[in-house]
């Protein structure tokens, strides 16, 4: 794993490490909100959730040389939702690079994204991103997670 990336993941985990109970409360609130109050057009494809209790897949979103460290919340073929610690200044319409990393291997997936929406909650900042170019996930460590029978179609959702 590239050293700056490894340091970024460690820094993200250190910032999040002290808030497990609050994080779970924020995640429950996010699920409640997304299930009931989204007014944007929902994604038209399956989403593959990545439960933090099972695996923490790191994400570094870089805009104008400023890195935002978080984790992958869910993913689809056209985009993803990222979860950042509270206070990260990610904004809708930002374009930048995204580096997704497996937590225990040297596998990384580089891509480019545009932030379509941002929800700031007490426990974290959620950012919905659209991939700027097609990513062939069948050649990445995410291929095992992106299988149709594991997908969910929530009642709400954001345009991706």
Query: Domain with 103 in it: what CATH number?
Result: 2.40.10.220
Q: How many domains does the chain fold into?
A: 1
125 in any annotated domain: yes
pLDDT per residue as tens digits for the range 26-62: 555 555 555 443 444 455 666 666 655 567 899 999 9
Domain span at residue 10 reads 3-150
155 in any annotated domain: no
Backbone torsions φ then ψ of 21, nearest 5 degrees = -65, -45
What is the average per-residue pLDDT within 103-120?
92
Rounded Cα distance, 122 and 1, in Å: 31
Rounded Cα distance, 36 and 32, in Å: 6
157 in any annotated domain: no
More confident of the two residues 70 and 6:
70
Element of type H or E holding 5: helix 3-17
pLDDT of residue 69 exceeding 60, the answer is yes
40 in any annotated domain: yes
Predicted TM-score (pTM) above 0.85: no
Asked if 129 and 119 touch (Cβ cutoff 8 Å), the reply is no
């Amino acid at each position: 794993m590239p050293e700056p990336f490894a340091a970024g993941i460690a820094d993200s985990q250190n910032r999040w490490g002290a808030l497990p109970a609050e994080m779970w409360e924020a995640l429950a609130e996010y699920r409640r909100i997304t299930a009931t109050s989204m007014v944007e057009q929902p994604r038209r494809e399956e989403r593959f959730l990545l439960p933090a209790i099972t695996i923490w897949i790191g994400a570094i979103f870089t805009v104008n040389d400023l890195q935002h460290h978080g984790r992958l919340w869910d993913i689809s073929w056209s985009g993803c939702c990222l979860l950042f610690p509270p206070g990260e200044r990610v904004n809708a319409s930002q374009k930048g690079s995204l580096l997704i990393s497996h937590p225990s291997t040297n596998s990384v997936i580089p891509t480019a994204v545009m932030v379509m929406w941002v929800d700031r909650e007490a426990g974290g900042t959620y950012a919905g991103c659209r991939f700027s170019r097609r990513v062939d996930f069948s050649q990445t460590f995410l291929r095992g997670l992106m299988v149709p029978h594991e997908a969910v179609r929530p009642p709400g959702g954001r345009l991706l």
